[in-house]
A = this chain, B = another copy of it.
Amino acid sequence: MPEQPYKSVIEALLLVAEEPLTPEKISQVVEISKEEVAGLLNELREEYERHSRGIRLYEADEGYKLGTPPELSAYIEKLFSVGASPTLSRAALETLAIIAYRQPITRVEIDAIRGVKGAGVVDTLLKRKLIQVVGRKESPGRPQLYGTTPEFLKYFGLNDIHELPPLEKLQDKE
């Protein structure tokens, strides 16, 4: 491996790690002693604070991870609530559930299941890119068919539409 300042290596590891990193793990990857790791982690922590950066080093689960300074929480909350991220209304979630499990599906079919005319809801979901037009039904009027988007998967943290929880079998309709 190329010679790199170990501190930057540790910072990179912390940036991409999915879980808190233990000094053992870091020492194993970087191939320096646990003591050296501890020293470098301390340096990192101090640098983050001294230069009033947007990053902090936190301990969690016997490991370390990067997080944001508590005093910036207002900004972070704003980030997650601004624009495209208001939580979905119940109507929107119901509609989304129907589309997810019954795609491709038309508006009329959605309304029939919900028992309500939900004109605006579909448009909202379209605008948020959680659903998209996937074709047209070969029936009178050739209504548009809707399906979910990659954005939808991301929103619910799914890798694949098949990761949607399976539905328990309902009794067969008479």
Interface residues of A (CB under 8 A from B): 1-2, 4-5, 7-18, 25, 28-30, 52-55, 66-69, 71-72, 74-76, 78-79, 82-83, 150, 154
B66 touches A30 (CB 8 A): no
- Copies of this chain present: 2
A16 contacts which of B8, B53, B68 (Cβ < 8 Å)? B68
Contacts of A10 in B (CB 8 A): 54
A168–B29 Cα gap in the complex (Å)?
A: 43
A54 contacts which of B7, B25, B28, B72 (Cβ < 8 Å)? B7
The list of the 6 closest CB pairs from A to B, nearest first, reads A11-B54, A12-B54, A8-B54, A12-B68, A12-B72, A1-B74
A83 touches B12 (CB 8 A): no
In the complex, besides A4-B52, A12-B75, A12-B76, 9 extra interface pairs with C-beta distance below 8 angstroms are A8-B54, A8-B72, A9-B72, A11-B53, A12-B68, A13-B54, A13-B79, A17-B79, A28-B82
